[in-house]
Amino acid sequence: AANVYRISRDREFLKTIFDPVVRTTNFIEELCARTNALHGPDTSFYGLLAPSISHEGYSKPTYSYWDDFFALSAWRNCEYLALEIGNRDVAAHAKLRGREFAKNLARSIRMTTESLGTGLIPGSADRGDVDPISTSIAFEPCRVVDVLPVEFIRATYDVAVGQIDLFGKPGFD
């Protein structure tokens, strides 16, 4: 919705989508509250969305960072749209919650990476998996790369390059 508005600058569209965007971010708060009811602030789950199977690679509910990247993007887009429509209260709430969510997400990614001891960014907080392709959505379309630990990015994508088989053999020869 935010990208459509950024391109179109259609004020009628903004008025139409604004309430659903706000309701969506309110639901994000509910999903995080579900997680926080089960896990304390000293865990890698705290502040994240409740587990889901929204990521195609997971067959059981998982604390997928894929979902959290989209949720953080939603908070930031809600703030932007609220400012555009002139609703300072919603903008302030979205900014506060977005910063809190980003802090929890960055902490979780770092905690999970360090607990795995791999130096690689995991795809989820609970599976110990590394999925550079799903991590890439933090760059685009979500544009939330600021939550990724910079020192682990290159190694994470070096692993991905080594796994690509373009010519019937491992890696690039």
Greater confidence (129 vs 163) lies with: 129
Report d(CA 17, CA 19) in Å as an integer. Answer: 6
pLDDT for 69 equals 98
Question: Tokens in use for 109?
Answer: 């990614």
How does residue 170 score in pLDDT terms, banded at 50, 70 and 90?
Answer: very low
SS3 state of residue 119: coil
Dihedral, CA of residue 135, residue 64, residue 108 and residue 39, to nearest 10: 180
Does pLDDT of 117 surpass 80? yes
Distance CA 144, CA 71 (A): 10
The per-residue pLDDT for 54 is: 80
Q: pLDDT by residue (tens digit) across 53-92?
A: 886 677 899 999 999 999 999 999 999 999 999 999 999 9
Give the confidence band of 166 by pLDDT, cuts at 50, 70, 90: very low
Stronger pLDDT, 128 or 143, i.e. the higher one:
143
- Return d(Cα 149, Cα 147) in angstroms, integer: 6
Strand partners, 64: 124
Q: Measure the CA–CA gap between 130 and 63, rounded to whole angstroms.
A: 13
Task: Record the pTM.
Answer: 0.90
pLDDT band at 119 (very low <50, low <70, confident <90, very high): very high
